[in-house]
Structures are given as C-alpha cells and as structure tokens.
A and B are shown apart, each in its own frame.
Chain A
Amino acid sequence: MGKFILQRLLAALVTIWIATIAVTILIHLVPGDPVRIMYGSFQTTPEELEAIRVRLGLDQPIWTQYLMYLERLVQGDLGRSIVGDQPVLDVLLTRFPATLALTVSSLAIAIVVGMSLGFLAAYKRGTWVDVGAMVLAIVGVSMPHFWLGLLLLFLFALQLQWLPVAGGDWRSLLLPALTLGLANAAVLARLTRSAMIDIFDQDFIRTARAKGLPRSIVLYRHALRSGLVPVVSMLGLQFAYLMGGAIVIENVFAWNGVGRLAIEAVLSRDYPLIQGFILFFATVVALASVVIDIAYAFLDPRIRYS
C-alpha cells in the first residue's frame, strides 16, 4: 500500500512540476512586451517600467526566471497581482474554501442523484423508467449548465424569493451546488447505467440468483459494489470537471470563489494572478486525485497492484 501511495504522490508532483513550467512559459507567449502590457498604465514612465522589469526578473533569461519562480514558490510567494498589487497566494486562499464547498457539495449531489438514477435505469432496463431516466440524462448533458443556473435563479431566488440572493452561507450555496450537481448527475447516470448493465449480465450475478439468494442481497452486496468500481474510478475526473464547471457557475451566482476570480483575471490580463490560478488549480486537482485514488484503493485492493 505504501508503494502505491508513493507512486500516486510522485505522479501528482510531476503534474505540478509541469504546471510550473507551463505558467513560466505562458507569459512569454504573450505577443508584445509583457511588462508594458501589465504595468504600462496611467502615468507610468518608461523608467518606472524598467524598474518593474528588473524587480520581477523579466530581464533575465528564461532558465533563471524559472529558478527564481521556483525559489519564491517554495517560500509561498506567488507574486503580486497587477490590479491592486495584492499578494496572489493570499487572494487565492481566501476564495478557495468557497470553491471547494461548491465542488464537494456538487459532487455529493451528482453522486447521489446520478448514481441512483443510473442504477434504477439499469435495474428496470427496457421499461419506461429506463427510457425516462435516460431521456432526462441526455437532456441534462445537453443543457448548458449556466442556463440551468439562470433558470433556477430566476425561479427560486427572484420570483419565489425562497432563497437569499447574496451572502455566503449554506442557503446561498444551495442553488449553485444544485445547478452544477444536476448537470454532472446526468453524466454519472449514464455511466452508472452502463456499468450496472454489464454487471447484471455477468455470470456471478446469475449464479447468486440461482442459489436462491434474496434479491436485495444480490443487488447490494454483489452488483452494487462491483458496479461501483468503474464509476468510482472516474470520480477523480469528475472532481476536476466540477472544479472547471464551478468557474462558470460561480459567475452566474456571483459565488465568491477562485473561479470568478480567474475570469476577472483573464479579462484584466492580470498575468501574475492567472499564473497563480493555473498552478493552484492544477495542484488542487492533482492532490484531490491522489486522495480519491488512495480512498478507492482501500475499497478495492485489486487495483493497488495494477
């Protein structure tokens, strides 16, 4: 088990390392002079721009810049944003819990709703339940989730006024989590249905039934657990997709997370903030995958040796 964990951590580290290289290169891909683009604002003189260039180390060759970046990174310094000169790490960390709350609650909703629906559809394969569930699922997959968000916002918050519109407590988390969760539930429903159909067809299930085991035991102990395997293996991916989806949903509901921050950063070409965000995002996703993989390995010992 220890070796497995080590393997996964190493993989995550490689991902993060490549991310640092990518963000260092990013600023050099920008056409034009990055310092001028970033800091050449109202009243800045050419001398001030040069001073900034030296201070940021942008006059150095790219290898040196990369090493300087790593050095500062290890000390927890992700630089300062262009807008308002704020420390990037600070800005990201204060808004991250909101995104995490949104992602985790959406994942929970997606798992509960999606897997139940998919399981039900597989169990009642061929009936109206199955068809209905799958129609729902494919419509859910096709619908733009930000549109769903707008509809829900319109209905529940503005028209019916059941839920508060601003503020950061759990009640204002409900709508965004529901939006993102339901959108992803559709995907999970389809996946679960496929996986469960495979399981139901398999010999060991028929053997269990033939032995006369009660249906519920067959379902829960044998089918469900095996069926969960391929779906759970996808959870890491789903987490990443949800973090990405949160970027748009946070904007719809003005949820104060890193996703909304990222959009503002791209619109204002705040490169230090954009670089910080990309690195941060990659790190979170990589670490989350490690955690999920390890948890999954606890459940299914077979994969530790794969």
Chain B
Amino acid sequence: MDDTRRRLRGLPALPGLALTASLALGATAASAQELVWARYGDIDSLDPHRATSTLSMQVWDQIYDTLLAFDMEGNPGPNMAESWEASEDGLEYTFTLNDGIMCHDGSPFDANDVKFTIDRAFGDTPSLTKTSWGPITDVTVVDPLTFKVTLASKFGAFLPFLADSFSSMICDSNTAETFGSTTAIGTGPFSLDEWVKGSEVALSKNPDYVNYGEPYDNEGAPHIDRLLIRTVPEAQTRLAALRTGEVHIAEPPFDDIEAIKEAGELEIMVAENTGQDVFWEFTTSRAPFDDIRARQAVAYATDPQMAIDIIYGGLTNREWCPVARGVFGNDQEFCKQYGYEYDPEKAKALLAEMGYGPDDPLETTMFVWTGGNRHKLAEIFQSQLAQVGIDAGIEIMDIGTMNARVKAQNEDTTSDEPGTFDMMTWSWYDPDILYQLWHSPGAYSGYQSPELDAMLEETRTTIDPDARLQKVQAVIKYLMENAVHIGLYSPGWEWVFAVRPEVEGFKVGPFLHPNFLDVTVVSGG
C-alpha cells in the first residue's frame, strides 16, 4: 500500500494527466492487492535440493519455474524450454530455451543456469531427490539458449520430472551462503521478499514473468502484488482467521467442512489428480513382517473405506493402486483384483497359521507422520487391528523423521524388537516413484528382489506408452501380491482449500500445485 501511494505522489500535478493516471490506476490504487494463504506448517528450506515436503514444494512453485510444465491432465509440455529433441537411442536430449527469461535479480536466465542447477543436484552435497533426476552423466552448454543432457541409460520419466517442482531451475547467481535460508533467486511468478522462519514467507510479484507453458489464463505477471504464505498450525485458528478476513485461503478443520458448505460463507475447493498415495509398507528385513502372511493380515484387518468416511467425509477416495488416480498406470479395477478387501476373519486365520492367537497377540508399532488428521486414521486402524489380535502401538512424528526411522528399521536385521510398519505417503506424477522406492538399494532400504529390480528397470527404459503400461502393471501386480506396497486412499494431505468469496481465479494445478497467476482479490481486499 505504501509503495502505491509513493508512486502516486511522484506523478505530475497536471489535471488531465492526473485524471487519466488516476483512472488507469484506479483498480489497483485502492489498495495493493495482497493475498494471505495460511498453512499448517512452514517450509523446510528455500533450496529445492534440501527438502522434500509438500509444504516446501508449494512455495518453490511460486519462486522458481521449471523447464517443462504439466497441463491440467498431467501431461508434460514446453515451458521455459521451448522445444527439445531426443536422440535415437534415447540417451541424449537437446533443449532450446525461450529467449529473454530474466532472473529476479535482473541477470538473464540461460543454459548456464540449467547446468548450474543440475550440476549442483549431483554435486558434493547432492540434492535429496538426486535419484529422481535419472541417470544423468553430463550437461553441456551449446549456446546460451541451447543445452544437451546425456543419460547413462534410457529414462522414461525424464521429461515429466522436468515439469516437477523438484527440478526447479535455480539461477546461477545463487552462490551466497544465504541461499536457501534467507535468499532465493529464481524465475518464477513471485520473488522473495523475506522468509520469517516459522511465521511467514513474503513474496512480491515478478513484473518480468512470462507464462510460457503453465495451464492458466494469465500469460504474464500475476495480478496480485504480494503473496503472503503464513504458518498457522491450528485448524480452528485458520478457520477463525478465514472468517474475519485475516486470511484468504487456508485448509479448514475437516469436521467443520459440512457446516462451512451449508453456511456458504467460504468456498470449498477439493483438488483432484493430486498424485498422492497413502499406503502401508512394512519392515521386511525381520519378524514379523518378513512373513507375507503378517503383511496380508494387516491389509485384511484394516478397513480404509470406513476410516476415511469417518475422518474425511466424502472428500477422499479409496485407492487400490500403489500409484494414484491421474497418474499413468493407475487403474482401480486392475488393482482391485490383487487388493485385500476388508476381511477380519481372513486376518485372524493368517495370524493363527503363524502361531498368534487371542492370548498371544502380534506386537508391532505403526509409524505415522503429522498432519492431515492421519493420527486419527491411525487410531481407527489401531482399533481395527486390535480386534484381530494385532497390538499396534502408534508413533507419530514429522515426515523427515519418519523417513529416517523407516530406513533405520529396514536396515536393522538383528534387533529383537518386532519390525514396524508405516503409513507412508508419496505424491508423484509418474510411476517412476515405484522405481525410486523399490529398486535396490531402495529409497528406504526396504523390500528388494532381483525379479522386482528387473521389472522396474524395464519401466524406466521402455518409452512406448502401451508397452510401458504393461511393464508398470506387472510391477503393480507384483507389489500387491507380495503385500509390499498396499494403497489405502488418495488424496491424503493439504488437498482441501477454503477460499474467501472475494478471491477469484485461485486454481490448483495437477499434482497439488496451488497457483496464483489468475488470482484477483475483488472489492479491494
């Protein structure tokens, strides 16, 4: 608001000019358009190579841009990269960039920045999602607008990855120590003003932004001037703030959604095609889950449909597949054939076979990560498991810790403690996630087999869509029959938004990327 007023004061006092100027600026002069988006947590880092949380990713989307972009159906298309060519053997890709892209600090964005980003991802402190880039061996700058990427083997998910936030392009002027902590220079629709840790990420619109390939109406800079992304951990508090207008967009408490819809005070938006999958996975390196019957018992004993009905109403869906709706390879009918319908009797029978019974329950621990009301689902599952004779303690922790502990559990083959299982969640736009999870050594050092490895490699190296579908479905069948990766529901976190009536144009892109390009705040916010 202050900036606008200062600019107005500088205008000449000539009546005609002033009138025209004030008419032209009329729309924005009333108040600088500021949008406040409240979420339950803060980002972990401004550096796309140092975090994996959805909370972080959604902010990277605003500051950075990607070479390719997904359309609303989830297919990757040109964005910062105007075009590309793949070599015959699929090992070399040559990209041509759009001309004139600017970084937030005024330096030009060109092929050198791309090389900088990719080299950094594979460098001394590699990106946390290094493996997702694929088997890249080299990036060569041909000229400022052209570069070549060389792969060691064919990688079917390469182009989709270049549309994903983890491949966000980092300008090569980000060499300061403060990068990721207090500074971040990108080419996205918003530039970073300030990150007040634990409280707020303040962004300003990037006037030089050009929308080359994102599926939104606005082809240039955002309409709003400032985007404030605030951390408000309590759902009730977010709801109260939405009602008073302190906040424009936020996830409401699930229990209040019906009431909100009825009152009509806020608009409820439910994202689709989120690519999110919530699934059971197990510590297969030791008892009890080294035995397939124990894993299957857990699957038979739990009823995800009932649990999600209670906790989420109709807002989420039962997901039978290890990859979510909207992702290549997903097919509910196909997956259901190999799935485990709720059947406590079968669970009990399997446990009895293993030697467990009412006097000798199977003891284990369930890991769950915070947020999305998952702790409540966990309690319901715990109760269902108790009914068949599985005594599952619950441990709730944040996602980073859970990743580490799952891995630690899998790698521990000698402990006397019973193996654990967890409600893991991954959101991915391509079945390549299965490769990342289950191909040895495995993201969490979990279940592995040479058979599975071979099948997974084929999913990566097969480019032809129909052939690839066969390969992917073979993997899905294997994972489900062996009770290794058991889909529960999708979507699972941060997919519901309550939006104030004066906000227009808020959209959520595929794979849960909230976007603000088209947003305007009517009636002067």
Inter-chain CA distance A94–B232, complex, in Å, is 18
**In angstroms, how far is the closest chain A Cβ from the Cβ of B51?**
5
> Which A residues form the contact surface with B (CB < 8 A)?
32, 36-45, 48, 51, 82-87, 90-91, 94-95, 157-158, 161, 164-168, 254, 256, 260-261, 264, 267-269
Contacts of A41 in B (CB 8 A): 128, 400, 403-404, 407
Contact B45 A165 (CB under 8 A): no
Question: Of residues 199 to 238 in B, which have CB atoms within 8 Å of A's CB atoms?
Answer: 199, 230-234, 236-237
Secondary structure of the B contact surface, majority rule = loop
Contacts of A39 in B (CB 8 A): 404
Contact A158 B240 (CB under 8 A): yes
Contacts of B400 in A (CB 8 A): 41, 82-83, 268
- Within 8 Å by CB of A158, from B45, B236, B404, lies B236
Q: Which of A85, A95, A164, A264 neighbours the largest number of chain B CB atoms within 10 Å of its CB? A: A85
Contacts of A48 in B (CB 8 A): 126
Contacts of A167 in B (CB 8 A): 246
* Binary per-residue interface labels of chain B (258-272) against chain A in the complex, 1 for a CB within 8 Å, 0 otherwise: 000000000000000
Inter-chain CA distance A157–B237, complex, in Å, is 9
Given contacts A43-B131, A268-B400, contact A94 B45 (CB under 8 A): no
Residue B429 is within 8 A (CB to CB) of chain A in the complex: no
* Contacts A86-B181, A157-B237, A254-B232 known; 14 new A-B pairs at CB < 8 A: A41-B400, A41-B403, A42-B129, A44-B128, A44-B407, A86-B197, A94-B196, A165-B237, A166-B38, A166-B246, A254-B231, A254-B234, A256-B199, A268-B400
Residue B43 is within 8 A (CB to CB) of chain A in the complex: yes
Contact A37 B443 (CB under 8 A): no
Residue B241 is within 8 A (CB to CB) of chain A in the complex: yes
- Within 8 Å by CB of B237, from A85, A161, A254, lies A254
Inter-chain CA distance A44–B44, complex, in Å, is 18
**In angstroms, how far is the closest chain B Cβ from the Cβ of A276?**
13
Inter-chain CA distance A90–B443, complex, in Å, is 31
Contacts of B247 in A (CB 8 A): 166
**In angstroms, how far is the closest chain B Cβ from the Cβ of A30?**
12
**In angstroms, how far is the closest chain B Cβ from the Cβ of A239?**
23
Contact B181 A87 (CB under 8 A): yes
- Within 8 Å by CB of A37, from B44, B126, B182, B408, lies B408
Contact A84 B56 (CB under 8 A): yes
Contacts of B124 in A (CB 8 A): 51
Inter-chain CA distance A69–B180, complex, in Å, is 24
Contacts of A32 in B (CB 8 A): 408
**In angstroms, how far is the closest chain A Cβ from the Cβ of B48?**
11
Contact B181 A90 (CB under 8 A): yes
**In angstroms, how far is the closest chain B Cβ from the Cβ of A90?**
6
Contacts of A269 in B (CB 8 A): 397, 401, 404
Contacts of B126 in A (CB 8 A): 48
Contact A91 B38 (CB under 8 A): no
Contact A268 B398 (CB under 8 A): yes
Secondary structure of the A contact surface, majority rule = loop
Q: Which of B198, B234, B400 neighbours the largest number of chain A CB atoms within 10 Å of its CB? A: B198
Contacts of B234 in A (CB 8 A): 254
Q: Which residue of A lies closest to B237 (CB)?
A: A165
Residue B175 is within 8 A (CB to CB) of chain A in the complex: no
Contact B128 A166 (CB under 8 A): no
Contact A260 B38 (CB under 8 A): no
Q: Which residue of B lies closest to A261 (CB)?
A: B198
Q: Which residue of A lies closest to B124 (CB)?
A: A51
Given contacts A157-B240, A164-B246, contact A40 B407 (CB under 8 A): yes
Contact B181 A42 (CB under 8 A): no
> Which B residues form the contact surface with A (CB < 8 A)?
38, 43-45, 47, 50-52, 56, 124, 126, 128-131, 180-182, 196-199, 230-234, 236-237, 240-241, 244, 246-247, 370, 397-398, 400-401, 403-405, 407-408, 411, 436, 441, 443-444
Q: Which residue of B lies closest to A81 (CB)?
A: B44
Contact B240 A91 (CB under 8 A): no
- Within 8 Å by CB of A43, from B51, B198, B199, B436, lies B436
Contact A42 B47 (CB under 8 A): no
Contact B47 A85 (CB under 8 A): yes
Contact A168 B404 (CB under 8 A): no
Contact B404 A38 (CB under 8 A): yes
Given contacts A165-B237, A256-B198, contact A43 B408 (CB under 8 A): no
Q: Which residue of A lies closest to B445 (CB)?
A: A40
Contacts of A45 in B (CB 8 A): 441
**In angstroms, how far is the closest chain A Cβ from the Cβ of B92?**
25
Inter-chain CA distance A262–B388, complex, in Å, is 39
Q: List 14 A-B contacts (CB under 8 A).
A: A41-B407, A42-B128, A42-B403, A51-B124, A83-B400, A84-B56, A86-B181, A94-B198, A167-B246, A256-B199, A261-B198, A267-B398, A268-B397, A269-B397
Q: Which of A40, A86, A166, A267 neighbours the largest number of chain B CB atoms within 10 Å of its CB? A: A166
Q: Which of B38, B130, B197, B247 neighbours the largest number of chain A CB atoms within 10 Å of its CB? A: B197
Contacts of A166 in B (CB 8 A): 38, 230, 232, 237, 241, 246-247
Inter-chain CA distance A36–B406, complex, in Å, is 11
Lowest 9 CB-CB distances: which A-B pairs, in order?
A84-B44, A84-B45, A41-B403, A85-B50, A256-B198, A256-B199, A268-B398, A268-B401, A165-B237
Contacts of B403 in A (CB 8 A): 41-42
Inter-chain CA distance A36–B408, complex, in Å, is 7
Contact A40 B240 (CB under 8 A): no
Q: Which of B47, B247, B400 neighbours the largest number of chain A CB atoms within 10 Å of its CB? A: B400
Q: Which of B38, B44, B370 neighbours the largest number of chain A CB atoms within 10 Å of its CB? A: B44
Contact A43 B128 (CB under 8 A): yes
Contacts of B47 in A (CB 8 A): 85
Contact A95 B198 (CB under 8 A): yes
Inter-chain CA distance A165–B56, complex, in Å, is 24
Contacts of A36 in B (CB 8 A): 404, 407-408, 411
Inter-chain CA distance A194–B436, complex, in Å, is 67
**In angstroms, how far is the closest chain A Cβ from the Cβ of B59?**
12
Q: Which residue of A lies closest to B405 (CB)?
A: A37
Given contacts A42-B444, A268-B397, contact A165 B246 (CB under 8 A): yes
- Within 8 Å by CB of A40, from B38, B233, B236, B404, lies B404
Contacts of A161 in B (CB 8 A): 240, 244
Q: Which residue of B lies closest to A158 (CB)?
A: B240
Contacts of B52 in A (CB 8 A): 42
Contact B197 A91 (CB under 8 A): yes
Inter-chain CA distance A90–B179, complex, in Å, is 13
**In angstroms, how far is the closest chain B Cβ from the Cβ of A156?**
11
Q: Which residue of A lies closest to B40 (CB)?
A: A254
Q: Which residue of B lies closest to A164 (CB)?
A: B246
Contact A43 B236 (CB under 8 A): no
Contact B196 A84 (CB under 8 A): no
Contact B397 A165 (CB under 8 A): no
Contacts of B181 in A (CB 8 A): 86-87, 90
Inter-chain CA distance A268–B47, complex, in Å, is 20
Contact B197 A168 (CB under 8 A): no
Contact A95 B197 (CB under 8 A): yes
**In angstroms, how far is the closest chain A Cβ from the Cβ of B128?**
7
Inter-chain CA distance A38–B400, complex, in Å, is 9
**In angstroms, how far is the closest chain B Cβ from the Cβ of A159?**
10
Inter-chain CA distance A184–B237, complex, in Å, is 26
